[in-house]
């Protein structure tokens, strides 16, 4: 883990953690891929080699590339082939998403069952975010997917710090209602902790902002990627993609914004894609 200054304030200065914490370790491969994505001129052969040297990551990327999500016309057998068919940034972001799974599934971590549930729900939001981005064309679908995967990573710090106490808090005040109890108990929300993780991992600034803002209302969200993620989290709960029916509360503003997402076939498509991603990422 990476050491983090205790009680580091958020960008707004309104939150300050009451405890010492460490940023979860992001794999060296994922960190290098993030660094490559932040450059204007990417060294594609180096990225291919980087992904291929991590069998777990490369196998997940190839399974995703060959899944119904992308509808490739022929079997994709190499990372280089995947880049040709899907595009460099898509493959690199899928690889980062695959690598991030290790954060949620650490064998020696606290609250493994709750961490796994968080990961599954993050995959659900990620899947839905990609669909929303494709349908609305207001943000990059692969960036939306990656933000969905890591948007709740701040919860891992609170699981590590408070264990079953924090898990109980989520059971009593799940999802969007968890922020006030987090502030009261720990001085900081999982959304703000997630932003600090993104900054430490050198994720692009707009992605870090999206992680921090994923519990805002649609009117408060300042950028297209944040709006996409907020809509995706709502739809994932409404469509019961990775969530049970108790997770959903109707929001009039979001219903109005998502009037083009009433087709049951879209919900069925999203559930099918989520099941494919869930199976691949949990293998």
Q: What are phi and psi of 46, to 5 degrees?
A: -70, -35
Question: Are 211 and 23 spatial neighbours (Cβ–Cβ below 8 Å)?
Answer: no
- Closest to 47 measured CA to CA, from 59, 35, 60: 35
- Residue 125 CA to residue 113 CA, distance in Å, equals 19
Residue 8 has pLDDT above 60, yes or no: no
Output the pLDDT for position 5. 37
Res 273: pLDDT: 92
| pLDDT, tens digit (0-9, with 9 covering 90-100), for 147-206 | 999 999 999 999 999 998 998 898 887 666 678 899 999 999 999 999 999 999 999 999
pLDDT of 1 > 60? The answer is no
Residue 6: pLDDT band with limits 50, 70, 90 = very low
pLDDT of 29 reads 85
The per-residue pLDDT for 189 is 95
103 versus 14: the higher-pLDDT residue is 103
Residue-level pLDDT at 2:
40
pLDDT for 256 equals 94
227 has a pLDDT exceeding 80? yes
Residue in 196, 201, 223 with CA at minimum distance from that of residue 12: 196
- 100, pLDDT greater than 90: no
Work out the mean pLDDT of the chain and round it to a whole number. 87
Q: What is the pLDDT of residue 10?
A: 41
Q: Which of 80-89, 90-99, 129-138 has the highest mean pLDDT?
A: 129-138
Task: Give bridge partners of residue 9 from the DSSP assignment.
Answer: 16
In whole angstroms, give the CA distance from residue 57 to residue 165. Answer: 33
> Among 13-17, 57-61, 233-237, 279-283, where is mean pLDDT lowest?
13-17
Q: What proportion of the chain, given as a percentage, has pLDDT over 70?
A: 93
pLDDT tier, 64 (very low <50, low <70, confident <90, very high otherwise):
confident
Measured CA angle at 156 (ends 153, 161), to 5 deg: 145
CATH superfamily of 105-283: Hypothetical protein af1432 (1.10.3210.10)
For 203-220, what is the mean pLDDT?
93
Specify burial of residue 214 (Cβ count, 10 A radius: 0-12, 13-18, 19+).
Answer: buried
Identity of the highest mean pLDDT range in 30-39, 58-67, 204-213: 204-213
CB-CB neighbours of 107 under 10 Å: 5
Alpha-carbon distances, residue 28 vs 1, 50, 73, 153, 246 (angstroms): 12, 10, 33, 17, 38
Sign of the CA dihedral running 263, 269, 270, 275? positive
CATH 1.10.3210.10 domain residues, the chain = 105-283
When mean pLDDT is compared across 40-49, 82-91, 181-190, 247-256, the lowest value belongs to 40-49
Choose between 43 and 201: higher pLDDT: 201
- Least confident among 34-48, 196-210, 214-228: 34-48
SS3 for 102? helix
pLDDT of residue 4: 41
Q: Are 91 and 51 in contact (CB under 8 A)?
A: yes
Half-sphere exposure in the Cβ direction for 185 (13 Å, CA): 18
SS3 state at 9: strand
Residues 180, 186: Cα–Cα separation, whole Å: 10
What is the pLDDT, as a whole number, of residue 222?
A: 83
The whole-angstrom separation of Cα 200 and Cα 198 is 5
Point out the least confidently predicted range of 42-56, 146-160, 232-246. Answer: 42-56
């Amino acid at each position: 883990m990476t050491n983090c200054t205790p009680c580091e304030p958020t960008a707004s200065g309104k939150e300050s953690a009451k405890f010492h914490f460490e940023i979860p370790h992001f794999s060296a491969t994922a960190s290098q891929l993030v660094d490559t994505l932040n450059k204007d001129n990417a060294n594609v052969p180096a990225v291919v080699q980087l992904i291929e040297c991590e069998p777990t990551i490369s196998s997940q990327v190839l399974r995703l590339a060959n899944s119904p999500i992308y509808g490739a016309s022929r079997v994709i057998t190499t990372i280089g082939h995947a880049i040709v068919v899907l595009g460099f940034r898509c493959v690199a972001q899928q690889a980062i998403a695959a690598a991030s799974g290790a954060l949620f599934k650490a064998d020696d971590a606290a609250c493994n069952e709750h961490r796994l549930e968080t990961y599954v729900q993050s995959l659900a939001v990620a899947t839905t975010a990609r669909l929303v981005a494709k349908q609305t064309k207001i943000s990059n679908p692969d960036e939306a997917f990656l933000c969905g995967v890591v948007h709740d990573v701040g919860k891992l710090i609170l699981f590590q710090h408070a264990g079953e106490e924090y898990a109980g808090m989520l059971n009593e005040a799940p999802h969007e209602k968890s922020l006030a109890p987090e502030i009261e108990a720990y001085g900081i929300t999982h959304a703000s902790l997630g932003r600090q993780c993104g900054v430490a991992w050198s994720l692009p600034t707009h992605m870090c902002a999206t992680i921090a803002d994923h519990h805002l209302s649609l009117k408060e969200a300042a950028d297209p990627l944040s709006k996409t993620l907020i809509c995706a989290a709502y739809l994932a709960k409404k469509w019961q993609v990775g969530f049970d029916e108790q997770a959903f509360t109707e929001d009039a503003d979001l219903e109005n914004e998502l009037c083009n997402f009433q087709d049951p076939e879209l919900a069925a498509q999203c559930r099918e894609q989520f099941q494919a991603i869930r199976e691949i990422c949990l293998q």
